[in-house]
Amino acid sequence: MTTQLTDAATRQGSGLNGGWRALPFLALAQFMVVLDGTIVNLALPRLQIEMGISDSTRSWVVTAYALAFGAFLLLGGRIADFWGRKRTFIAATAGFAVASLIGGLAQQPWELISARALQGLFAALLAPAALALLTVAFPGGRERGTAFAIFGSISGLGAALGVLLGGFLTEHVTWRWCFFVNVPIAVLALAGVWFLVGESKAEGSTRYDWPGVVLAALGLGSLVYGFTNAEHGWGAPEAWGFIAAGVVMLVLFVVVERNTAHPLLPLRVATERNRAAAFLASFLSGAVLIGGILFINFYIQIVLGFAPFLAGIASLPMTVVLIITAGLVAKNLPRLGAKIPTAAGPVFMAAAMLWLTRVSADGSYLGDMLPALLLMGAGLGMVFVPMQNLALFGVDKDDSGVAGALVNASQQIGGSLGIALFSTLAAAASGGGVSLAALSAGYSVVFLWAAGVAVLIVPVALLLINIDRKTFSGTGDAPHIHMG
């Protein structure tokens, strides 16, 4: 039976009844979730030494979070829709804070990686609940576009500021505060939503698609694990075997979703062409953002020799340009529409990565890094503003949780696959060497591949996005999508 969202819940969460007051706290939760995708990046070299983590295990400190986040986001979206979005948000925020405490207190590598996975699991509940609450709070019109522009830009801002904050905490306090810092953020977000946001959930049939949950989690996990092990050789069974198993399970997942009455992912959510463009763009940009920036930080710290906080300061120009660009795009979104910024942003991202292919053991920050960081900030600002708005445009209210989950899952899975693939490429290109020249050669190959991934977003935007500008900005007479 098709689920129905109660009118009372819609009115309770409407933008006219506190949506703007709740927006900062919902955005703060999104900021925390994205922040944790990058905040440990600058801490990795130091915590690796302190905890005795091997190079092959190091990437899992980042990947464990992204993998758990992406693998369980679809289930998290459905739990938010069925159990209650506010209730899910509160439980997930509290759980995220506890997981962060565990990570900060970890004494063994397995404890740290487990805590990161636990953070990802709670983030998988938190992110779609926050996005669904925002969807209910701003059901349509220009206000909705503005709210989503602000919320969407938080994704890029959180990732960029995570680098700066991680560097400061690692150098001047301890890397453990990269985890502890989440606790006050979580408490503030939880308190704001508790008092300002009303409950909303789908009614009717609320059965969970457990076969879909298992296939999605195992399929995505196998895929990432296979890419991670490919650094030992693409012919190794632990590489191609897990990659093949992952592909098979994801194909079975689609078959199950097509034939179940209560799918984990209703295919209507993912197959509408404009939303499909947003999901694909999110996946590809996640690989470039999370995977590419990880190696930018490695180059700045390991090759250029910057201390963690100075490395964070060195990344600040990207953050500043991102904020400025996102503000300009949000202001002009009714005139630009979704296609232009989504197609233009990746060009800047690709140019940034191509510039970075010139890195060498005797490179410099001003010549090799700064121009690329400025270009990357501009590109990310263009892409993130329209992406989440487009991903939830026209979606049924009962599917808002799973739609919000899908756009976040796309980015996180793209990021985890990006880290795994780029780590493999860097290891192969460096020949296993540890000299600065060998490491720089590996990083250069990574940046070349990242540029290629960024370029793929351009045809996705140009060929799939066809929504009318006025409709997208909420200024049109009626909510419709041109299907020609």
Per-residue pLDDT tens digits for 422-458? 888 888 888 777 789 999 999 999 999 999 999 999 9
Amino acid (1-letter code) at residue 45: P
User: Rounded CA gap, 391 and 274, in Å?
Assistant: 7
Does this model's pTM top 0.95? no
User: Rounded CA gap, 282 and 392, in Å?
Assistant: 13
User: Rounded CA gap, 195 and 24, in Å?
Assistant: 13
**For residue 465, what are the β-bridge partners?**
none
Measured CA to CA in angstroms, residue 39 lies from 44, 170, 393 at distances of 9, 10, 30
Q: Please check the confidence at residue 302 and state whether its pLDDT lies above 80.
A: yes
What confidence score (pLDDT) does residue 228 get? 67
The pair of structure tokens assigned to 241 is 């075997």
Structure letter (DSSP) for residue 399: G
CATH number attached to the domain at 4-208+262-473: 1.20.1250.20
User: Rounded CA gap, 450 and 34, in Å?
Assistant: 20
Which residues contact residue 245 at a Cβ distance below 8 angstroms, ignoring those fewer than 6 apart?
219, 222, 226
Give yes or no for a contact between 39 and 162, defined as CB atoms under 8 angstroms apart. yes
Place of tokens 């632990």: 238
Q: pLDDT per residue over 276-300, tens digit each? A: 898 899 899 988 887 788 888 889 9
Q: Please check the confidence at residue 7 and state whether its pLDDT lies above 50.
A: no
Pick from 220, 247, 283, 286: nearest CA to 460: 283
